[in-house]
Structure 1
Amino acid sequence: MSTAPSIDLSVIPESQRAAVLAVLRERDALRETNRRLEHLIAELNQAVHGKRSEKLNDDARQLAFEDLETAVAEAETRQDAEAAPRTPPRRAARRNRGHLPESLPRVERVIEPDSLLCPCGCGEMHRIGEDRTERLDIVPAQLRVIVTVRPKYACRRCAEGVTQAPAPAHLIEGGLPTEGALAHVLVSKYADHLPLYRQSQILARAGIELHRSTLADWVGTAAFHLGPVVDRLTEHLKTSSKLFMDETTAPVLDPGRGRTKTGYLWALARDDRSWGGGDPPGVVFTYAPDRAGENAERILQGFDGILQLDGYTGYNRLTRPSRTGGAPITVAHCWAHARRKLKEIFDRDGSEIAAEGLRRIAELYRIEAEIRGMDPGQRLSARQARTAPLVAAFGEWLQAQCRRVSMKSRLGEKLTYIHRHWDGLQTFLRDGRVEIDSNNVENLIRPIALSRKNALFAGHDEGGRSWARIASLIATAKINDIEPFAYLKATLEAVAAGHPQARIDDLLPWNFKPSS
């Protein structure tokens, strides 16, 4: 874009030309800023509302929003800087400034005037008040060395022996890390998705040479000691009468072939918050080298309630009388998956049949939005009175479309999927505790996808099991509003100190009590 002035400067008095040029430069800068913002907004609109093949995934969409917000902030800051000489009062920031918790330490810096003497010579002035402002300061992670000193004492008059305090228990006896250091490595890898080799590089910048293999040893040791806590968490979840289940890929290195193979993390979750259930939410991930339905059967041994899941055929064995590990399970299938099937067809060719199915499903979700948070009885009454007739009408419409549409077409395949799971799609009409979809567990496995993308793969099947174990505790802590680092540090310290097995429930994430 040309920044040449659009007016003839020769007709402007020389004394005013500098001011006019400044205004023109400001105009050109604003034009460039607007052009940049328009470009970002156009790209974001395309990503959100464009063709399916051109849309961004959730992570990329967040990056697009970040770029847009950054550009807006830069433009506003530039405007403030250029307007400062003409408008001394600073405008208040229009963006959210965030909340500073009372638990954060405060460092007060008192700024006194250069002189407290009254200008008129009356003497020293008296303090009548103050202005206080708070800003967030961030100190980079501090590395420190804990030096444990155990003095030895002996009697000068006799030789009865030496007295010395016993050495404190450590999770890794004779090793470098404190339990806090172990917790930091675990959270960085499994909550912040920072692979161990990158953590090693960060520590090296601070002068700490710790090879990735050393950090891996730490992770493996911590995962082993946390195993009983995860096992108890699993037992606790399986006492529930309703759970969610889903699975996601976990690439694992196959040393024999020198490449990766596809393992799976199976998620078993409880989340009763939408109807005020008394049990705390939780999730357990279990690693398996494949997606065979036997894995779900093994994980669910001892559970006989309602299971909310998608339409993967591997779950079919759970409903059979021959099911291993318990009675046949009642399944509740996911309307979000049914909707997704129709949305794929609508996005592809604008099918009117798919559009009608989407409209009907939207009516079900509108009712669900209105009754969210009500107790199970109220939810069930509302569903029987308002939702059941809509579902029955959807079933009649579905039957009619299945007769009209070729089952070999893409639309026919999607309609067949919905028809095949029709019984499970009606389970939520018979129990107010059941959700209309399995989105709760899908939200819980998203961090696994981030770790998978950043770490590329687990180095071994055992690495997949460690991944599952630590991810279980971190995810459960997060959905219970527990800070994962504080929880893991305290739990590892308790394990190192010999926490009794009989009180292992005290170590479950929802029982953690942060220290003041």
Structure 2
Amino acid sequence: MNIDNPAEPLLPPSPSAPDAAPVDRGTESPAGEIAEAPEGEFSSVGLLCDGILSEIDSVAGFPDAAKMIVGTQLANILAIAREHEERERLAKRRISALKGDVRARKEQLAVLHQEHFDKSSEKTAAIDGDEDFDLTFDDDEDEVEEQAEKPKGKRPQKRPKGTEMKEVHHFPADRTCCSCCGHEMPSFSFWASVQTRIIPEHVEHIRHIYHICACNHDERCKENKPVAAKSQNYIMRGRRCDAASIVEAAVQKFGEHIPIYRMAERFRAVNENPSRQAIGNSVSYLALRHLDQVRGHLGNHVIWALCRDERNWNPEAQPAVVYEFAPSRAGSVIEEILRDASLQFLITDGYAGYNRVFAKDGANDGLLSVRCWAHARRAFFEAELATKSPLAQKIVQMVRKMYAVEKAAKGLPPEARLALRQEKTLPILAAIRADLVKAEPEAEGTVKKAIDYTLKAFEALQRFAFDGRLEIDNNPVERCIRGIALTKKNSLFIGRQNVAQVWAIYYSLIESARLNRINPRAYLNWVVGEIKRNQGDVDHAMLMPWHCPVGKIED
């Protein structure tokens, strides 16, 4: 039998040991019984003790008192052993639980690290659609070919066109001929090197003097009115900084994400002391007074932070992005923004606020939803990181194949893009849907969430495969909003209600210039210069980035 109290002696009391506690031994041998392990099997220590008692029983004439003493000590040893074994079992269970917790934390950290520190889930996993894939989709598509190393050496220097080249000639300190003639030695050859000098915060004070002229040659001239020079300060009249300086401040803040207080610090380094408030007020004034009308013309036929980019299939495309400020993300705001838009498709993520614009009784009847595969793919990528799910990994690989098709279709006309998608993409979409439907009943956790997200939106997710003008994702507008997040992080103590409107104006112009491969600094200076030259009497539609004659960024 199992011993309930391991401290009890294993042997029955003998007449010479009247104080010993009795033990019910049943029909077992007089040498005593060793306790079993909790699982019903003898422990190693119990087997050893049982062997000792068996050896004692086999010794003829071994005193019963001695047997009792030995049995008692063995029972104590067994009790200690059982205590240690119980601690070991508890420790193993605790270690197993901790290992599970560590695995879960590692999965969470992997997802968080991917989101916050790596380039992106798509690029790290080589699934962003920019990789080279064989459209035959062989089984060994994941094998990476070794690329030949590029020859080492200095790369040819590229200098932007129009940059002023200042020449400084250096001659020997003494060019006098050491012979008897004593003439100065002329140069017959030279070597040259080019260095770049950066002049930070070059400040000039310009005093504008406007003259009033009149002729006083004779009596008849006195009848003519004097002629006054017109002010050249149309845009920034009454302000210390000229328009070019404010454009520079705006580009640094909204294009290069440099907060205004850092600009003020650099000005102080050259003994100028403009306040942050003065710079910020001037930047806002320029936007709200003169640039908002230019931004308004970018909004024609454009959808919300609103992007139109047809360059993947239209060589004459004029891409643009417009940022609209609204006090909330409610669906009613989105519905109002798109109320008068002449649209057929709207590519979005899964935000529920868009549902209002697709409602049958809404103001945008006929507007079709196209969902973004980058968002659907991200759900499976995170599920793969967290759970190592074979299904999630398989879906990610199939999405890679669709992006390979998109890379091959880039630059083709819509009809060719549609034909390629019908041949290559539709079978992949069918396979993805079949796998998700099959796995959905037994899926759990993040995998279940990714499956539900994708199946619910699958009709909209596959709509791009039936129109060559559509894109597989909404990454163009996603790229356009990255700068806003970075500038917001670097901006402190804004404190004004119209700042959001100012942000919307500058980002609309700066990002639209970038989409059209125009340097934002050159573009804004050109726009301001045209407004200033025409004293505000200008056709703002002709100030779009695609009309800008300067600042073209070479490929």
Shorter-chain TM-score bucket reads 0.7 to 0.9
Q: In 2, distance between residues paired with 1:461 and 1:329?
A: 33
Report the identity percentage: 28
Is the 8 Å Cα contact of residues 247 and 283 (structure 2) preserved in structure 1?
Answer: no
Is the 8 Å Cα contact of residues 201 and 267 (structure 2) preserved in structure 1?
Answer: no
Deviation at 1:515, TM superposition (A): 8.5
Is the 8 Å Cα contact of residues 272 and 279 (structure 1) preserved in structure 2?
Answer: yes
Name the residue aligned to 2:166.
107
CA separation of 1:93 and 1:103: change in aligned 2, threshold 3 A: farther
Deviation at 1:454, TM superposition (A): 0.4
**2:526 matched to 1:490?**
yes
Name the residue aligned to 2:282.
218
Per-residue CA distance 1:142-162 (angstroms, 9 max, x = gap): 111222222232333444343
Name the residue aligned to 1:354.
392
Name the residue aligned to 1:264.
none
Per-residue CA distance 1:289-326 (angstroms, 9 max, x = gap): 211122222222222221111111111111112222x3
Name the residue aligned to 1:39.
none
Q: 1:481 aligns with which of 514, 517, 526?
A: 517
**2:409 matched to 1:345?**
no
Structure richer in strand, relative to its length = 1
Deviation at 1:165, TM superposition (A): 1.8
Q: In 1, distance between residues paired with 2:412 and 2:340?
A: 30
What pairs with 1:256-295 in structure 2 (closer than 5 Å)? 267-295=305-333
Is the 8 Å Cα contact of residues 281 and 480 (structure 1) preserved in structure 2?
Answer: yes
Deviation at 1:93, TM superposition (A): 8.4
Amino acid at match of 1:223: A
Is the 8 Å Cα contact of residues 318 and 328 (structure 1) preserved in structure 2?
Answer: no
Q: Which secondary structure state, in structure 2, belongs to the residue aligned with residue 435 of structure 1?
A: coil
Q: In 1, distance between residues paired with 2:465 and 2:250?
A: 42
Deviation at 1:372, TM superposition (A): 1.7
**2:351 matched to 1:312?**
yes
Q: In 1, distance between residues paired with 2:170 and 2:488?
A: 49
Structure 2 residue runs without a partner (length 5+): 1-108, 121-150
Name the residue aligned to 1:500.
537
Q: 1:178 aligns with which of 230, 242, 245?
A: 242
Structure 1 residue runs without a partner (length 5+): 1-49, 62-91, 246-266
**2:231 matched to 1:231?**
no
CA separation of 1:427 and 1:121: change in aligned 2, threshold 3 A: farther
Deviation at 1:121, TM superposition (A): 8.9
Deviation at 1:370, TM superposition (A): 2.0
Amino acid at match of 2:393: A
Q: How many residues align?
A: 406
Q: In 2, distance between residues paired with 1:181 and 1:193?
A: 17
Name the residue aligned to 1:323.
362
Deviation at 1:56, TM superposition (A): 7.1
Is the 8 Å Cα contact of residues 100 and 136 (structure 1) preserved in structure 2?
Answer: no
- Please, which moves more after superposition, 451-460 or 284-293? 451-460
Per-residue CA distance 1:259-309 (angstroms, 9 max, x = gap): xxxxxxxx1011111223422111111111211122222222222221111
CA separation of 1:500 and 1:350: change in aligned 2, threshold 3 A: same
What pairs with 1:31-180 in structure 2 (closer than 5 Å)? 51-55=110-114, 57=116, 94=153, 96=155, 98-114=157-173, 129-156=189-216, 157-158=218-219, 159-160=222-223, 161-180=225-244
Q: In 2, distance between residues paired with 1:510 and 1:373?
A: 19
Q: Which secondary structure state, in structure 2, belongs to the residue aligned with residue 273 of structure 1?
A: coil
Q: Which secondary structure state, in structure 2, belongs to the residue aligned with residue 283 of structure 1?
A: strand
Deviation at 1:506, TM superposition (A): 1.2
Per-residue CA distance 1:178-230 (angstroms, 9 max, x = gap): 11012111111111112222222222222222222212221221111211111
Amino acid at match of 1:411: V
Q: In 2, distance between residues paired with 1:202 and 1:321?
A: 56
Q: In 1, distance between residues paired with 2:551 and 2:514?
A: 17
**2:436 matched to 1:398?**
yes
Is the 8 Å Cα contact of residues 334 and 436 (structure 1) preserved in structure 2?
Answer: yes
Q: In 2, distance between residues paired with 1:142 and 1:339?
A: 49
Q: Which secondary structure state, in structure 2, belongs to the residue aligned with residue 53 of structure 1?
A: helix
Name the residue aligned to 1:434.
470
Q: In 1, distance between residues paired with 2:375 and 2:513?
A: 28
Structure 1 vs Structure 2 CA RMSD: 2.8
Amino acid at match of 1:500: D
Deviation at 1:505, TM superposition (A): 1.2
Deviation at 1:59, TM superposition (A): 8.7
Q: In 1, distance between residues paired with 2:214 and 2:177?
A: 66
Per-residue CA distance 1:10-57 (angstroms, 9 max, x = gap): xxxxxxxxxxxxxxxxxxxxxxxxxxxxxxxxxxxxxxxx93333473
Amino acid at match of 2:169: V
Larger radius of gyration: 2
Q: In 2, distance between residues paired with 1:515 and 1:60?
A: 29
Higher RCO (CA 8 Å, separation ≥ 6 residues)? 1
Q: Give the TM-score of the pair, scaled to structure 1.
A: 0.72
Q: 1:413 aligns with which of 433, 437, 449?
A: 449
Amino acid at match of 2:349: D
Name the residue aligned to 2:259.
195
CA separation of 1:275 and 1:58: change in aligned 2, threshold 3 A: farther
Amino acid at match of 1:379: R
Deviation at 1:340, TM superposition (A): 0.2
Name the residue aligned to 2:35.
none
**2:485 matched to 1:449?**
yes
**2:373 matched to 1:373?**
no
Q: In 1, distance between residues paired with 2:378 and 2:159?
A: 40
Deviation at 1:354, TM superposition (A): 0.9
Q: 1:299 aligns with which of 328, 337, 352?
A: 337
Is the 8 Å Cα contact of residues 170 and 178 (structure 1) preserved in structure 2?
Answer: no
Amino acid at match of 1:151: H
Q: Which secondary structure state, in structure 2, belongs to the residue aligned with residue 308 of structure 1?
A: strand
Q: Which secondary structure state, in structure 2, belongs to the residue aligned with residue 274 of structure 1?
A: coil
Name the residue aligned to 1:470.
506
CA separation of 1:185 and 1:348: change in aligned 2, threshold 3 A: same
CA separation of 1:396 and 1:450: change in aligned 2, threshold 3 A: same
Amino acid at match of 1:369: K
Amino acid at match of 2:292: G
Per-residue CA distance 1:79-98 (angstroms, 9 max, x = gap): xxxxxxxxxxxxx9846464
Structure richer in helix, relative to its length = 1
